Copies of this chain bind each other. A is one copy, B any other.
Amino acid sequence: MHQAEIIFNEEVARGIYLLRLCADKVAESANPGQFLHVKCTKVPHPLLRRPFSIADTHREEGTADIIYRVVGEGTSILSQKRPGEVLDIMGPLGRGFPSPPPGTLPLIVGGGVGVAPLLFLAKELSKVAGLEGRAFLGFSTGREIFDTEVFESCGFSVELATDDGTCGKRGFPTELLEDFLKGEKKVQAVVYACGPRMLLLKVKEIAASCGIPAYLSLEERMGCGIGACLGCAVKSAKGGYKKVCRDGPVFEAGEVEIW
């Protein structure tokens, strides 16, 4: 647990906010795919913390970013916080994305605000000299697109899709992934995905049918955030349940059942 001062908290695309925290412990140790568990209020309602993926860190400045969409009470309270206010956070929590084996092509698939942890991933991967990758990113509409240029600056070639066709291809980023994989026979690749459940389901299918590994960042309602309450269950492929907060949020696609 840390008390982290807010440095920046602004709308970066329609309904999407970037929040930058002064949190050197997080900046030092966070891995892409890990999350922060954020207390939005001091009063007894809403009761629970909110989990958000870490979207970036700056070790030198000791800062960490999250990018969130305003969807309910917690995120709307968050969006009203101003620089200088202090946020109570837990983290970095959970297990993040594994690095790709040398020589494999990282394929990133992100939907909406699910792009957030993939930004951090891309930045980390770009530290490997000469790394190239592909990013397939989907948004509802042009006005909700954010930060796609970051992927480009990290050495990823970016393809876009929007639900309404206002930008990039009309459709889903999984279709872009499929098209790409159809073209490349026997590519040594690994998929990293985050987004709505349907997206993850589709990525799992595609990866399985192409015989390449896929790492998915899952979401589940959370209580403790650290494996104590057993609230954030997801069905394990081997029977029983994994906990998103402790065993994930990133899982190898074959480990879990997505329904």
Chain A contacts to B: CB under 8 angstroms:
43-46, 73
5 contacts between A and B (CB under 8 A): A43-B45, A43-B46, A43-B73, A44-B45, A45-B45
Q: Please, how many angstroms separate the alpha-carbon atoms of A45 and B40 in the complex?
A: 14
- CB neighbours (8 Å) of A43 from chain B are 45-46, 73
- CB neighbours (8 Å) of A73 from chain B are 43
DSSP majority for the A interface? loop
Closest 4 CB pairs of A and B: A45-B45, A43-B73, A43-B45, A44-B45
CB of A43 to closest CB in B, whole Å = 6
- CB neighbours (8 Å) of A44 from chain B are 45
CB of A72 to closest CB in B, whole Å = 10
Q: Please, how many angstroms separate the alpha-carbon atoms of A43 and B73 in the complex?
A: 8
Interface centre among A43, A44, A46, A73 (most CB of B within 10 A): A43
Give the nearest-CB partner of A73 in chain B: B43
CB of A126 to closest CB in B, whole Å = 41
Give the nearest-CB partner of A77 in chain B: B43
Q: Please, how many angstroms separate the alpha-carbon atoms of A43 and B72 in the complex?
A: 11
Q: Please, how many angstroms separate the alpha-carbon atoms of A157 and B44 in the complex?
A: 46
- CB neighbours (8 Å) of A46 from chain B are 43
Q: Please, how many angstroms separate the alpha-carbon atoms of A56 and B73 in the complex?
A: 34
CB of A254 to closest CB in B, whole Å = 41
Give the nearest-CB partner of A46 in chain B: B43
Q: Please, how many angstroms separate the alpha-carbon atoms of A39 and B106 in the complex?
A: 52
Q: Please, how many angstroms separate the alpha-carbon atoms of A73 and B43 in the complex?
A: 8
Q: Please, how many angstroms separate the alpha-carbon atoms of A106 and B73 in the complex?
A: 50
Q: Please, how many angstroms separate the alpha-carbon atoms of A45 and B45 in the complex?
A: 6
Q: Please, how many angstroms separate the alpha-carbon atoms of A46 and B41 in the complex?
A: 13
Give the nearest-CB partner of A43 in chain B: B73
Q: Please, how many angstroms separate the alpha-carbon atoms of A73 and B46 in the complex?
A: 14
CB of A205 to closest CB in B, whole Å = 40
Q: Please, how many angstroms separate the alpha-carbon atoms of A43 and B46 in the complex?
A: 9
Q: Please, how many angstroms separate the alpha-carbon atoms of A44 and B72 in the complex?
A: 13
Give the nearest-CB partner of A44 in chain B: B45
- CB neighbours (8 Å) of A45 from chain B are 43-45
CB of A75 to closest CB in B, whole Å = 13
CB of A48 to closest CB in B, whole Å = 14
